[in-house]
């Protein structure tokens, strides 16, 4: 049985059915388009929210890689530090607190870590006098106070000044 051509009727009068229950396809298409557009918009909103969350999470994860570790000083600027395990400076960052050793004295203070920004506040330490390590200690503590940024690469920590120049280099304590 052959099927004839199909025509879309947009008004009841097109069919000659005035007064009878007749629905146009036009309204259904508009409702479908509206629902489809809302669905598409929800997807974009969800993608936007996921992107914002991922950026915030990546900053938190990025900062986590330097926390809860002991970082041994290897260089101040371009000057390498001779690694004498008894007198080698190190730092450790945990829960907003800085602790460590500055070549002669214990080191304490606080830090602020947000994304790739790292600053130290209230850095102080014990006051023992060490003739053989005093110069290194003074230079280390003074340079530590100039820190504004950080980066971590291949298990090495680099502290940078406000011009993003490397001022201190560390490696993870073995």
- For 55-77, write each residue's pLDDT tens digit: 554 444 556 889 999 999 999 99
Average pLDDT over residues 40-59: 62
Check: CB of residue 110 under 8 Å from CB of residue 97.
Answer: yes
Q: Decide which of 137 and 34 is more confident.
A: 137
- The model's pTM is 0.64
- Give me the mean pLDDT over the 4-31 stretch: 55
- pLDDT computed for residue 79 by the predictor: 93
d(CA 83, CA 86): 9
What span, in angstroms and rounded, lies between the C-alpha atoms of 125 and 142? Answer: 13
Q: Which CATH class is domain 66-172?
A: mainly beta
Question: Among 40-44, 51-55, 122-126, 132-136, where is mean pLDDT lowest?
Answer: 51-55
Per-residue pLDDT for 94 more than 60? yes
Q: State yes or no: pLDDT of 102 exceeds 80.
A: yes
Here the contacts of 123-132 (C-beta below 8 Å, separation 24 or greater) are 123/98, 128/104, 129/104, 130/87, 130/103, 130/104, 130/105, 132/87
Contact 152, 65 (CB under 8 A): yes
């Amino acid at each position: 049985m052959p099927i004839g051509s199909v025509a879309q009727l947009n008004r009841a009068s097109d069919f000659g059915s005035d007064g009878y229950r007749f629905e146009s396809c036009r309204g259904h298409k508009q409702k479908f388009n509206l629902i489809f557009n809302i669905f598409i918009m929800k997807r974009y909103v969800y993608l936007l929210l996921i992107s914002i969350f991922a950026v915030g999470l990546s900053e938190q994860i990025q900062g986590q890689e330097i926390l809860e570790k002991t970082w041994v000083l290897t260089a101040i600027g371009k000057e390498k530090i001779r690694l004498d395990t008894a007198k080698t400076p190190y730092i450790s960052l945990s829960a907003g607190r800085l602790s460590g050793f500055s070549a002669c004295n214990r080191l304490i203070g606080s830090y602020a870590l947000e994304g790739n920004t790292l600053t130290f506040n209230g850095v102080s330490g014990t006051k023992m006098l060490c003739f053989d390590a005093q110069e290194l200690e003074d230079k280390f503590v003074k340079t530590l106070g100039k820190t504004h940024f950080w980066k971590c690469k291949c298990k090495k920590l680099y502290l940078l000044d406000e011009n993003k120049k490397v001022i201190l280099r560390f490696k993870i304590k073995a």
